[in-house]
Amino acid sequence: MNPKKRAEIFARLAAANPNPTTELAFATPYELLVAVTLSAQATDKSVNLATAKLFPVARTPQAVVALGVAGLEPYIRTIGLWRNKAKNVVEASRLLIERHHGEVPADRDALEALPGVGRKTANVILNTAFGQATMAVDTHIFRVANRTRIAPGKTPLAVEKGLERFVPEPYRRNAHHWLILHGRYVCKARKPDCPRCTIADLCEYKAKTRIEE
């Protein structure tokens, strides 16, 4: 895919959604960290339902540590892998207090040193909470980047590096949000909705679906 085509793709995505953001509900960087940690192998909707009950009770590292694992578990029982996530959230909260005065650091290495925080989670926090032009490659972005040929790669890290290289600078801050939403609602895994796709004529996916299908 050539640079002109990539630029047009992101121009159209930007025109359709000028201010994209995560669908996770949060008010502070800490709430975002908790929500993203809980969202692994879970839907944003299920996480939002849980945090709507949790955050009024405990929305700071200090409050979550006071709640403890046993106190946190009932709030997140409806989310997949909730037992392990409860342990990670409480321990990450303790470490934030111990190492960062209870604040979420705007630093990749510091974030990835927290339990339950991998590269993708760190990228979401750095981008959404701190405005850094990171690319959080989830299954949607991995699929869209490869299917469209915007930034093909065999691993999430390869796709991330490709996006950092190929996405035009004016669009880098919001690129991963556009691609996630596009993959979630249009360029879906089983049957992409090509007839209503705003970039279908630019996409290099060969097996495009048609209206009659």
Report the catalytic residues.
Answer: 120, 138
Query: What is d(CA 84, CA 164) in angstroms, rounded to the nearest whole number?
Result: 32
Nearest Cα to 22, choosing from 3, 8, 38? 38
Which phi and psi angles does 52 have, rounded to 5°?
-65, -25
164 HSE (CA, 13 A, CB side):
14
Question: Which amino acid makes up residue 203?
Answer: C
Query: What is d(CA 113, CA 37) in angstroms, rounded to the nearest whole number?
Result: 13
Which phi and psi angles does 7 have, rounded to 5°?
-60, -40
Query: Is 72 in contact with 90 (CB distance < 8 Å)?
Result: yes
Query: What is d(CA 34, CA 36) in angstroms, rounded to the nearest whole number?
Result: 6
Nearest Cα to 120, choosing from 135, 131, 103, 109? 135
Query: What is d(CA 208, CA 192) in angstroms, rounded to the nearest whole number?
Result: 8
List, as one string, the DSSP characters of 123-157: HHHHHHTT--------HHHHHHHHHH-SS--SSHH
